[in-house]
A and B are shown apart, each in its own frame.
Chain A
Amino acid sequence: MVKNSLIFIVLIGFAVLLADLFVGFNGNTDLNILANHYAVSGPEEVGSANLVTAVVVTYRGLDTLGEVTILFLAAAIVSFLLKVEAGASRNRKLRSTSEILDTASRILVPVIFLFGIYVFINGHLSPGGGFQGGAIIASGLVLMLLAQPAKEVGHKLITLVESISGISFVLIGVAGVLFAAGFLDNKLLPLGTFGTIFSAGVIPVIYIFVGLKVGAELSGIITNLHENQNEA
């Protein structure tokens, strides 16, 4: 209890710190120069209707690359840690799920997958993008696994998608250095007509790969957790 009181006091101290930090915060009334630039020049420079996407994929593309790398790392570590040592039995005795869930999942999963793909293809036009789409795809996978626990998910497929999309991402970035103004430069492809699917340069392409990659990585994490479900 003494310890908790101490922690409480420390937390109050921390609260004071945060209060000092935000004491002058009174909401923004205007955009700062940077944001204004993105808002005003973004559409011309990048051609993406969704400014967040413009920032995420192009202006701060390196962050995004880092971000998928983090997921990739997380997936790799999870896979490494939960990897079944050779020789361990893969004794699977799974309870069967209900017919309804099974059937529903058979219909729903492809729809979810398609939705996910839609979300990341339209990332430069509407809310959503690679991450959201990838997460949606992974959710579909979860549903599938819930419905059919015994289903062997193709690890190879996941890895293949993950690797190819990752390499493609990097290659697009490098292509930007070689053929355009810099790493991950958007103008590698023509900007197209503002507001259409085939616009905004390489953003849709990148987002596709991001979406696939994130989807694959999250799926990887989940399947790894799933597969060891039954081994004690």
Chain B
Amino acid sequence: MINLIIAIVIGVLILIMAIIAVHHKNIVVGIIAAGVVSLFASILYLLLAAPDVAMTEAAIGSGLSTIIFFYVLNKIKRQNG
């Protein structure tokens, strides 16, 4: 039952974060929000008895992916400035 509640809370958080990721004017916030979505997703995976997936999602989805986003964004900003 506790799992259920956590799942619901995280699910709602994921959706909120997703909306922020899509709609926030600041791209940096968007990228972070997307990373957070991944992070929360990996918690969901843990709940769903998928530790392998959770690890991967944490490392790749919220980690590397976000880093790549920032690298690109950073480059774009530098070119602008």
- The answer to whether A and B touch in the complex, with CB atoms under 8 Å apart, is yes
Decide if B64 touches A138 in the complex (CB within 8 Å): yes
Of the candidates B52, B68, B71, B79, the one having the most CB atoms from chain A within 10 angstroms of its own CB is B52
| Residues of chain B lying within 8 A (CB to CB) of residue A131 | 56, 59-60
Q: Is the CB of B68 within 8 A of A222?
A: yes
Give the contacting residue for A129; candidates B50, B52, B75; CB below 8 A: B52
Could you say which residues of chain A place their CB within 8 Å of the CB of B71? 222, 225-226, 229
Bound Cα distance A131, B71 (Å): 21
A135 and B78: CB pair below 8 A? no
CB contacts (< 8 Å) of A173 on chain B: these are: none
CB neighbors of A among B29-81 (8 A) = 50-56, 59-60, 63-64, 67-68, 71-72, 74-75, 78-79
CA–CA, A50 and B56, complex, Å: 15
The distance in angstroms between the C-alpha atoms of A53 and B9, with both chains bound, is 30
Q: How far is the CB of B76 from chain A (nearest CB, A)?
A: 11
- The answer on a CB contact under 8 Å between B78 and A232 is yes
A135 and B52 in contact, given A225-B72, A228-B75, A229-B74 (Cβ under 8 angstroms): no
Chain B residues in the interface with A (C-beta under 8 A): 50-56, 59-60, 63-64, 67-68, 71-72, 74-75, 78-79
Task: Sort A-B residue pairs by CB-CB distance and give the 5 closest, nearest first.
Answer: A127-B51, A135-B59, A225-B71, A132-B55, A52-B52
